[in-house]
Structure 1
Amino acid sequence: MNTLISPDETWLLWAFLVGWAAASIYLEQRFEWASKLSGAIVALLGAMVLANLGVIPIESPVYDAVWSYVVPLSIPLLLFQSNILKIWHESGRLLIIFLISAIGTVAGAIVSFTLLKDLIPGLPHIAAMISGSYTGGSVNFAALASRFDVPGETVSSAVVVDNLLMAVYFLVLIALPAFGFFRNKFGTPHIDEVESRDEVDKTAAASYWKRKEIALNDIALAVGTSFVIVAVSFKLAEVFSNLIPEDANIFLTILRAIIGDNYLMLTTLTLLLVTLIPRYFERINGAQEIGTFLIYIFFVVIGVPASIPLIIQNAPLILLFAAIIVFINMLVSFSLGKLFKFDLEEIILSSNANIGGPTTAAAMAISRGWTKLVGPILIVGTLGYIIGNYIGTALGFWFSSMM
């Protein structure tokens, strides 16, 4: 499809990605409607609208660069203040409901596959990608697409569906606290706390992202350390992936999947360093701000492929397949969350972290003013990078054996 900005207009596309990410943050902190919606959704929806209007291309090497470089650099920066030992007591409840929500994704994938396996070609691999994505975010989608060597046209159709449903579901989750039914059925301590604050002149996002002291040294250490961690992690993953034979036996296959995966190694090494030398990372100001800005660029990118005409033309059944998974994830999350007396905010963020990943969940927590849940959901949601790969891989092989 011809677009106003062509895929090879590198500077124009970078200007759009970075500029719209900046605009989304500004809107989120300046206007109440954008704060309630969250800057992440503003970024995603803006890109989706322009892509569907034919202003920007659906595919470009610029978007690939965001996946290859911007996303890996953002992950360590977002985890610099996430010392597992310090926030474990706050994360325990979230971990349980997050795992319950993951069970919902698995149940949804099984039900959806059973209903549609004879109607969608290549469904086992599509199921692997989407179930992995809906257990920890789009990072898993990319990893599983590569692992199963899925054809490009199948990946394109599935990613469009994945991103569109993710955006729609986030809007649903954001709207839920406004309904009296959910406020009456679930505990809402964080919502009650926000409503009791006397901060009429600031949005929740502006209150969270207060101006802080930051020096050139902070920027240098934050960015430099992130580059080093990414480089070392990816190199270690490459070394282990080459050393451990593929499909030798079950133990080596699992070991290779753990220490030979770029993102699993990156997350593990970062969390290990933050736990072992916490004072170094705690003294770096601005890492969370830089990492969040980078991840907002990613939010813009994941909104780009959500072309509604392409879905209608190429992937209506894939849309139905993914929608069933999302619906059952929501059903399981809220039903069992109610049964085990989880708060509404915990259920919303855990389901968000499953479908969209830790950064979208953290962005939602920030936008709603649930500041005590930001760090915990970021840590718990990061586990989705790990279990999502396992779940997607396991379901992919299992479903393939059934065809």
Structure 2
Amino acid sequence: MYVGTVIAKDDTWLLWAIIILWATVSLVLEQHYRWASTISGAIIALVGAMALSNFKIIPTASPVYDTVWDYIVPLSIPLLLFNSNIIKIWKESRRLLVIFLIASVGTMIGTVVGFIVLQQWIPYLAKIGAMMTGSYIGGRVNFAALSAKLNTPEEMISATVVADNSVMALYFLLLIAIPALPIIKRHYHTDYATTDNEQEQQNYWQPKKIQLLDIALSITCAILLVAGSFKLSEVLQAWLPNNNLIWNIVVSFFGDPYLLLTTFTLLVVVIWGDFFERLAGASEIGTFFIYIFFVVIGIPASFVTIISTAPLLFIFVIIILIFNLGLSLVIGKWCNFKIEEILLASNATAGGPTTAAALAIGKRWTNLVGPILIIGTLGYVIGNYAGTLIYRLLLFLS
């Protein structure tokens, strides 16, 4: 048994029970209580796990946690990408796509600026910058994938999650308030009707019908994609030369298992789009896996490290969001985009398609709910590529 902990590191079933139970509790609280949804289920999952480890209930290291990193995180990626058909995205939501890409560029610029300003004070900032780029273009699945890929220390991941979620809560409030500002009303326009279609909103949030076959097919497809991508990565890294800077970059992109997984998932969704569009439950399973991930990354974190590191990470995250929203507003105005399109695109990059859809529903922009969901899923596709590119750039700048 680990000295000083109630539960041993090899007490596998008990540790799994605690992890899954707390991930479930976090989801239940987030969906049933306003205070929990405000701080987010991710924070509840992470802080609760931190408390369990810091108060010596569970160990800070265990093969169980390694299993989550090695298997649960990779499986979550294809599950959350099965709804991302880039052909459908282009056909149905071109205007939102353009402003979404502009906001994504703002995220990347903000990450570079924040890195230049703060790199001497925040350790592992190149890795954190890559993770936040992926997260603020895609979502939590990209954050998880990049943190696993880059082997970022768990305590830094936890501190970043705390800073991210704390700032994001304020950012959502800002996005809600912006349309009512006089300066926005004067300089931006809208022709989207604000309807009171309560039934449409209720229908949007209704539970989906999921059959046993949906679950079986979702898990099977995800495992096949992960197995094929990781095996091909091993082969490519063994075959491709790795003896200079250029080839290092080539291998890091084309031989990276997470980028291969993203690419293959994207391809199969395009080829068999009708099949994956009918497949229910994959997104829900993938989201639950991500909550398990947030529990696990909170376990090794020290309260002392969080308190000492998070304030500077707050500043780093704020810089990223300033450039994201600022570039969106400036270019959006120049290109004659509507304020709703600009705000939803920025929201979709920073908070993911679900929170963007929630903003659209909350503001009664019901005719934009579907398009922003489609566009938001594109971030899951490009987030890992953008994060990897930014990581290489930040290493060059450091």
After superposition, what is the alpha-carbon deviation per residue over 1:192-247, rounded to whole angstroms, capped at 9, x for unaligned?
96x94536xx9x8x865533333222222111111111100111111111111113
Equivalent position of 1:112 in the other structure: 118
1:131 maps to 129
Residue type matched to 1:161 in 2? A
Does residue 1:75 correspond to 2:71, yes or no?
no
- In the other structure, the counterpart of 1:85 is 87
Q: Tell me, what secondary structure is at the counterpart of 1:213? A: coil
Pairwise CA distance, 1:70: 0.8
User: 2:39–2:166: 8 Å Cα contact kept in structure 1?
Assistant: no
Distance 1:22 1:311 in 2: 24
Partner of residue 150, structure 2:
144
Match of 2:231 among 199, 218, 235: 235
Determine the C-alpha separation between the residues in 2 that align with 1:207 and 1:20.
Answer: 29
8 Å Cα contact 1:229/1:270 also seen in 2: yes
Alignment equivalent of 1:297, drawn from 283, 292, 301: 292
Counterpart check, 1:226 vs 2:222: yes
Q: Which runs of 5+ in 1 are unaligned?
A: 147-154, 353-360
* TM-score normalised by the chain length of structure 1: 0.78
Deviations 1:157-215 (A, max 9, x none): 433432332232233334334556875565798x996x94536xx9x8x8655333332
Query: What is the match of residue 265 of structure 1?
Result: 260
Partner of 2:23: 21
Whether 1:346 and 2:345 are equivalent positions in the alignment is yes
| 1:280 maps to 2:286 | no
**Does the 8 Å CA contact 1:6/1:56 hold for their aligned counterparts?**
yes
Aligned residue in 2 for 1:376: 375
Question: Contact conserved, 1:219 with 1:286, CA < 8 A, in 2?
Answer: yes
C-alpha contact 2:144 2:293 (8 A) present in aligned 1: no
Asked whether the 8 Å contact 1:4–1:55 carries over to 2, the reply is yes
Query: What do residues 95-148 of structure 1 show as CA deviations (whole Å, max 9, x unaligned)?
Result: 2211211210111101212xx2xx67xx5xx122111111112422332238xx
Matched, 1:335 2:326: yes
Match of 1:159 in 2: 157
What amino acid does structure 2 have at the position aligned with 1:99? V
Deviates more, 1:322-331 or 1:63-72: 322-331
Deviations 1:234-293 (A, max 9, x none): 11111111111113351x333212221011000000001110121222232222222222
What is the alpha-carbon distance in structure 1 between the residues aligned to residue 180 and residue 145 of structure 2?
Answer: 31
**Partner Cα separation in structure 2 for residue 222 and residue 74 of structure 1:** 11
Unaligned ranges ≥5, structure 2: 135-142, 333-340, 362-368
Q: Which of 90, 95, 103 matches 1:97?
A: 103
Aligned to 1:217: 213
Q: Secondary structure at the match of 1:271?
A: helix
Asked if the contact 1:35–1:368 (Cα under 8 Å) also holds between the matched residues in 2, the reply is: no
Total equivalences in the alignment: 365
- Report whether the alignment pairs 1:62 with 2:53: no
- Please say which of residues 169-178 and 278-287 is displaced more in the overlay: 169-178
Deviation of the 1:52 alpha carbon: 4.6
Q: Output the CA distance in 2 between the equivalents of 1:285 and 1:76.
A: 14
In structure 2, distance between residues paired with 1:328 and 1:292: 27
- The residue type equivalent to 1:375 in the other structure is I
Q: Distance in 1 between matches of 2:179 and 2:214?
A: 46
Question: In structure 1, what is the Cα distance between the partners aligned to 2:189 and 2:7?
Answer: 45
- Do the aligned partners of residues 369 and 188 (structure 1) sit closer, same or farther apart at CA in structure 2, a change above 3 Å counting? farther
- Contact kept, 8 Å, 2:75 with 2:222, in 1: the verdict is yes
* Matched-pair contact (CA < 8 Å) for 1:36–1:174: no
- Partner residue of 2:170? 172
2:335 alignment counterpart: none
